[in-house]
A = this chain, B = another copy of it.
Amino acid sequence: MEWTAVDNDACAVTLTSDVLGDRWSVLVLREIFNGVRRFDDIQGHIGVSRSVLAQRLRRLMDHGILHKREYQAPGDRPRYEYRLTEMGRSLQPVMQAMMEFGDRWLTSHDDPTVIVRHKECGARVKVTSVCAEGHVIDEPRDLYAVLGGAPLKSAS
């Protein structure tokens, strides 16, 4: 099929890429998906400067991916933690697809760093392409993309 230019401002991939942000944001998200939720802990783990971390957290909050919660351990001073919103949680397939790609192609070791499991049965979870007819598609070549109904790029 022939492709007219997709409107960048309306393209889902573009927009998601903007929300994900840069490398630092992705690392922040990894930490939070892993349950690391406090400023200094995140900073220690990923080794980013404080100002950049603050900016990334704010950015992720602005996009509705994270929200900040204050909590108080009894007799302790208040703490803050960053948690995923529902929108943030729905980035899980993106993160996991990245994980699986990295484990397949990029890591030197055989074992994955992180394994995702199903709470209900404990079995390992993978991201899978499935069509509406129920076929599982392992080979990307068995897919094709067509334009949907969204507006195209206006200009020439």
Binding site for B on A (CB under 8 A): 1, 3, 5-8, 10-20, 22-23, 26-27, 30, 33-36, 44-47, 64, 87, 89-121, 123-133, 135, 137, 140-151, 153
Contact = CB atoms under 8 A, between A and B. Distances in A.
A1 B35 contact: yes
A135 B118 contact: yes
A129 B30 CA distance: 18
Task: Please classify the interface of chain A as helix (H, G, I), strand (E, B), loop, or mixed, using the class held by over half of its residues.
Answer: mixed
B148 A112 contact: yes
A107 B15 contact: yes
B97 A93 contact: yes
27 contacts: A6-B30, A12-B99, A12-B101, A12-B102, A12-B103, A12-B113, A13-B98, A15-B102, A17-B23, A19-B106, A45-B153, A64-B105, A87-B105, A93-B101, A94-B97, A94-B98, A96-B97, A97-B127, A109-B151, A112-B149, A118-B143, A119-B142, A119-B143, A120-B135, A124-B131, A124-B132, A128-B129
Contacts of A97: 93-94, 96-97, 127
